[in-house]
Chains A and B, each alone.
Chain A
């Protein structure tokens, strides 16, 4: 079982998608029910990963799968190369966990073309899972790009008024970044070939062993970092995000926030940083600076939003800033904080988008000024909203606290101290914009007569939120469940980055000269 567990997890949704195509298009209930079952089964299949204690003892890759895929002699070679470690483990789990929740949230909100919606959701799940466990850069790139296609249609077909602009912008922004990364990937491969290092395909672990000279690292890192920065998104290439989030249907926003943005941060941790450690040292101050700008800027802009969904979208920019800052701290706490904050952001922001979806379904508006005093009419909703708000703000006892705290501690202990000082202000800003929004939407008197007859959450909607709340508290109160399995992998990653010699090896100079020579 363990031999092909990852393949099963990746391709089960795809298999489900093929079946969805044969369900009659007008059978709405069956389509949604079937997709829910498929995503739940995928989650159950992936559970053995979460309970496997091997991640707590060893930081390497587990559940490896390796098959030769494309092999054309000395031209190039690609392999079907999968594996999961303590870092990708939780992102895989997050993906399989958030999918059923998302599907459940579409019950009422998606009425048009359900078949296409469900098929695309399942295709998207396959692509996301594949990207998290692919260890061959070529394979990773395929899953990475494949993700764009379903998301493009989800935004463009089921989105809001400005959906076409948002969908095309999303697609082009992300694709441009990845195309440059493609050039870098090919270059890396031929560098490895020319320098005579034993490699098998585009295996990332073989590339870790390369001693790339600094000038090559510099450009390669830029190409990778740019591509991932767009996906994260980091300031100033974040502009696609508010558009995409605002226009996307609720389910699309949830997946975008919960999983797809993690692709960027995960890309840094797995690829950009360990592949080019020397260049990383040069860029860390700049990248950390951009993260901090992202935190402050995202918070300030979020504060001024009139649309709840836009507010949440900008808060994402800020939250991802904390993730990046933690990761760039390059120490155990920072990394752990960054990675756990990825999961946290997935849960809290996913939950926030669901909440926005709930009120949008009821009122068909998301403007803060249209609401006020909802707490009187919807007590259960108010409670859940409050918990999620606290989690997003980072109140102790909720998951947000653990992640942001670790990330900031990590940054304080590294040489990013002053960045951390500025970033801390983001925590305060977060409290301001989130609580202020909560106050304006939920508290006070009901001023708008349209809100008089709002119904509280239905059982289905509560069922959507309860699993998320469970993890808000679980991670908040006892994060060790997650940290224990994460730490060995982080340790290994940091050792590997620190042990690499910061030196240009003379032997490689001619190779670089040959490859870099600009013609």
Chain B
């Protein structure tokens, strides 16, 4: 081989661009080995080491802020956008791991592999966020998904968990099929899989909207992403998977991987399909309204709190989609800020549920939480703050986030969408309030004596709480970061 070519290829690689995920993968593999030599049940140190790995990865990621790195001949870019989303995934993973250790012991699966799998998921998520080639995005998606399939079905002797894993696997594979088919068609039309390359090609193409192959490719690709985002009508897998998966994994899935899917979705759509934005925006309008409404209205009837939060997470994907309809910088950065906030508030809420649940978690129903606020006052207050944030009540972060995406929509002239959005928030008030009704307005049936505080989960809740309040009262710097992260 020509020495120059090799030289060039090596220069093009630029490991800097994948440094964060590289660090994470190395840690992940090392911890996999560590966990092999760890006796069953003594996995706490694996958990703490994973948190350390994530913190280090976080610092490595942050060095790329305002210092974009491109690598692998332009198929990976670590720009502000990727950094922002990577940080969301890292935070989500760290909070999840913190609440997992005691939980796994309680549920009887104290296995070390759990943590490396979360790290690999996070690495996959980071590739999705930084991929600028449809193939890298696909690679990231697969790494993320395969680890998640395992994690969703992690409780292998529990039917519900098995069901979750299997369902997630089948539907995930199905959606990946869509995605790949879309990539293939787009390659057929444009001759490239590079996000920017497609955009270049599309600009010069006349008669774009009558090019069936291109439209089918774009449509299939977007459908694939929407599956992962859990937007209606591609949300069918969400409730069962979220309910059946181990609770920390549910929390993680609803925040980290969802953010990663949004990242890839946004980058591909905004960069590659800018030329058909008018058509896309109409589609997104319908999807946003559908997603919000379906999520909120079905959540109204749920008795199981975990399942209710699953439907609520669908509706939150709908609020975030409003930012896509807006198709302006305010909307896009609004989505990013929204997902950051959602990570804190949703994982926080799940962390409280993890603590309150009994083995098997059959008591995580509305009735099961009766009087929880009196028996466990601090946890009660924490859960209330998370729920108020999910509702979008000031002065919590949820309000700032909703304000941001709605502002984007109104700036772009979508008054009706904003009105539908706020009316959906009004509907959601009811089911969030109902949890609080049970916690505070009903007399305790049980003494909640099984609830034991442990350091790791408490840290996770405190960080989430700090995030929700800080991003609510002083959101300025973080909103500004989201603004700078829009490419």
Contacts and interface: CB of A to CB of B under 8 A. Distances in A.
A515 B413 contact: yes
Q: Is the interface of B mostly helix, strand, loop or mixed?
A: helix
Interface stretch (B102-110, B223-231, B421-429): B421-429
A186 B394 contact: no
A164 B430 CA distance: 12
B54 to A, nearest CB: 28
A356 interface: no
B222 to A, nearest CB: 20
A156 interface: yes
Contacts of B403: 138, 182, 186
B483 A75 contact: yes
B388 A157 contact: no
Interface string B2-21: 00000000000000000000
B475 A70 contact: yes
Given A142-B399, A145-B393, A164-B437, A519 B285 contact: yes
B410 interface: yes
Nearest to A518: B416
Contact of B393 (A148, A156, A183, A186): A148
B450 interface: no
A378 interface: no
Interface residues of A, number: 41
A175 B441 CA distance: 20
Contact of A75 (B333, B419, B426): B333
A156 B371 CA distance: 13
Interface in A153-206: 153, 156-157, 163-164, 167-168, 171-172, 175-176, 179-180, 182-183, 186-187, 189-190
A179 B480 contact: no
B435 to A, nearest CB: 12
A149 interface: yes
B135 to A, nearest CB: 34
Sort chain B's interface into a size bin.
35 or more
Nearest to A183: B418
B414 interface: yes
Contact of B441 (A145, A163, A172): A163
A327 to B, nearest CB: 27
A409 to B, nearest CB: 40
A132 B388 CA distance: 23
A190 B410 contact: yes
Interface in B388-418: 388, 393-395, 399, 403, 406-407, 410-411, 413-418
B407 A186 contact: yes
B476 A71 contact: yes
B440 A72 contact: no
B415 A183 contact: yes
B25 interface: no
A180 B416 CA distance: 11
B465 to A, nearest CB: 14
B479 to A, nearest CB: 5
Given A72-B480, A75-B483, A168 B388 contact: no
A185 to B, nearest CB: 9
Contacts of B30: none
B426 A72 contact: no
B440 A75 contact: no
Nearest to A519: B414
Contact of B415 (A75, A152, A179, A516): A516
A168 B433 CA distance: 7
A514 interface: yes
Contacts of A145: 393-394, 399
Q: Which 7 A-B pairs have the closest CB atoms?
A: A179-B422, A142-B394, A70-B476, A156-B441, A176-B426, A186-B410, A145-B394
Given A71-B476, A514-B413, 16 more contacts: A70-B476, A70-B479, A142-B395, A149-B393, A157-B441, A167-B437, A167-B441, A168-B430, A168-B437, A172-B426, A175-B393, A182-B406, A183-B410, A187-B410, A515-B415, A516-B413
Interface of A: 69-73, 75-76, 113, 138, 141-142, 145-146, 148-149, 152-153, 156-157, 163-164, 167-168, 171-172, 175-176, 179-180, 182-183, 186-187, 189-190, 514-519
